Amino acid sequence: MNLLELFYPCEKGEITLDSVRLESVDSLWVRGSVFGLISQEPTLFAESIKENIRYGKPSATDEEVYEAARQANAYSFIMEMPSGFDTRVGERGVTVSGGQKQRIAIARALIKDPKVLILDEATSALDSESEAVVQATLEKVQKGRTVLVIAHRLSTVQNADLIAVVEDGRVAEVT
């Protein structure tokens, strides 16, 4: 994941996207426009829900924020919050549940309409009920995108078109 987002240079080989070497393009553009990252423990800021989603695309209109929330299955629970989209989530999102935090992070990733969605253990820290809601959301938003899922549990990736097993830093199996 860090290689994809150009945090580190490749020591061997190269990473290409549509036959273009990623290292030859602006890393801020890659992170801001090409990839949408949803991690195991998303970072929320002590701001409103609206601003936490807008962080994915600072120029987004309010309507774009609302649409991203709808796509992420977050709109209804946000509207039930005391101040809706203006509800402040507290430091690291302490006022929302794990599943709600994940769906806000999904909306943040989706608002920039990424070509590649990277899911880094996106459901592993959730209880089974929240995981089911977030998993259903992720299945819905994957359509029309390349999706890279990083997971330890086979059940998380069982519907993938291609599965690569990495062991000790090497690809051990591809199915």
Residue 76 lies in a domain: yes
**pLDDT for 55:** 93
How wide is the angle at C-alpha 36 spanned by C-alphas 32 and 39, nearest 5°? 125
Residue 152 lies in a domain: no
Residue 162 lies in a domain: no
Residue 102 lies in a domain: yes
State pLDDT tens for residues 47-97: 999 999 999 999 999 999 999 999 888 999 999 999 999 999 988 778 888
Tell which wins on pLDDT, 88 or 124: 88
| Number of domains, the chain | 1
Show the domain range for 110. Answer: 16-146
Residue 88 lies in a domain: yes
Residue 153 lies in a domain: no
User: What's the rounded mean pLDDT across residues 163-171?
Assistant: 88
Residue 139, H or E segment: helix 128-141
- Regarding pTM above 0.85, the answer is no
Residue 133 lies in a domain: yes
State pLDDT tens for residues 23-37: 888 888 877 788 888
> Per 3-state DSSP, what percentage of the chain is helix, strand, and coil (rounded to 5)?
40, 15, 45
CATH number of the domain to which 73 belongs: 3.40.50.300
